[in-house]
Amino acid sequence: MANIPFRNKLVLCLSLIIFSSCKHEKVYQTSLFDIKINLNELPNGKKPIFSQRHLKSKKQKWVGGLFGSNQFMEWNEVLYNGTVIRINPQVPPPNDSEFSAYASQERSQYDFYDVTYINPSKTSFIARISGPDNIGNRFYVFNARKSGLEVYSIDRPTIIEGDRKWENRDMLKIGTNLLMVDNDYVFNQKTGKAYEITRPGKDRVRGEFTALSPDGQTIAFTTSQLLYQCHYPSGEVYIEPIDDQQLSKIVNNKTKEWPYNYFSWITVNGKMFLYPLVSMFP
């Protein structure tokens, strides 16, 4: 390097630093999830190789090159075909999310939790990833395709008023093959299909999961004033008001079977919803 000008030396050294810090990892740009995305595509007719590992460090090391950050003291990585997956979680907000709290800039994230496959061939999975303090945890879909690995944010835009209790929900297993994320999406692990839960407005359903219909197609939530039900394959919603007296009984008797003390599943036009029992009314 003796005959190389100093400026070129500096550029070359910086390039080597960036390359050496990133050669075993890849940063994927996220985009917003769409339920029409094929989650069952086999890349090149072969199953992708995903692997997980738990790592610890005695001190925080700088990772990610010049634009990196201090790594966690303890974290979980996922590798795709031997390369560490990192994501850039910044996504362009949709047209209807002018008031939603999308961060203007975020560094690459890689601390994976709750890694769960969402199709039989295990080419797609959901993971919860630790984000910045002002954002918290988010869920992402990772989908191996012929074109490569695609990463999607399933954080649908929302407008939260008052307390922030309902801003970030969780991932629940609500049936043998069903996962519900953030009260917004349903993923069928047997078929690899995804569905949106119809919202009552611009916010996600502010309520607790209550019951799943016997056919597994209607989800019931308990909110402060009503029983909110969504037949997610069609998006049809049925709402049953709950008066104060009923609500007090429910709060004091919130067992797994409580809905059936007050409601019964009725099939109407091929869709199942909970309707009040006649005995509820004097």
Print the SS3 string covering 34-75.
Answer: CCCCCCCCCHHHCCCCEEEEEEECCCCCEECHHHCEECCCEE
Do 207 and 169 touch, CB atoms closer than 8 A?
no
- Mean residue pLDDT of the chain comes to 76
What local confidence, expressed as pLDDT, does residue 132 receive?
Answer: 55
Tokens of 98: 């002018």
What local confidence, expressed as pLDDT, does residue 62 receive?
Answer: 60
- 198: pLDDT strictly greater than 60: yes
CA 139/CA 152 separation, integer angstroms: 9
Model confidence at 228, in pLDDT bands (50, 70, 90)? Answer: very high
What local confidence, expressed as pLDDT, does residue 82 receive?
Answer: 85
Q: Decide: residue 114, CB within 10 A, 0-12 exposed, 13-18 middle, 19+ buried.
A: middle
* Helix or strand run (H / E) with residue 169: none
Model confidence at 189, in pLDDT bands (50, 70, 90)? Answer: very high
Give CA separation, 200 vs 11, 103, 211, in Å.
55, 25, 18
- 151: pLDDT strictly greater than 90: yes
- 101: pLDDT strictly greater than 70: no
Model confidence at 157, in pLDDT bands (50, 70, 90)? Answer: confident
What local confidence, expressed as pLDDT, does residue 24 receive?
Answer: 84
Q: ∠ CA 183-187-188 to the nearest 5 degrees?
A: 140
What local confidence, expressed as pLDDT, does residue 42 receive?
Answer: 84
Arithmetic mean of pLDDT, 55-63:
66
What local confidence, expressed as pLDDT, does residue 85 receive?
Answer: 87
- 238: pLDDT strictly greater than 90: yes
pTM above 0.85, yes or no: no
What local confidence, expressed as pLDDT, does residue 78 receive?
Answer: 87
CA 151/CA 86 separation, integer angstroms: 10
| Residue located via tokens 């000008």 | 5
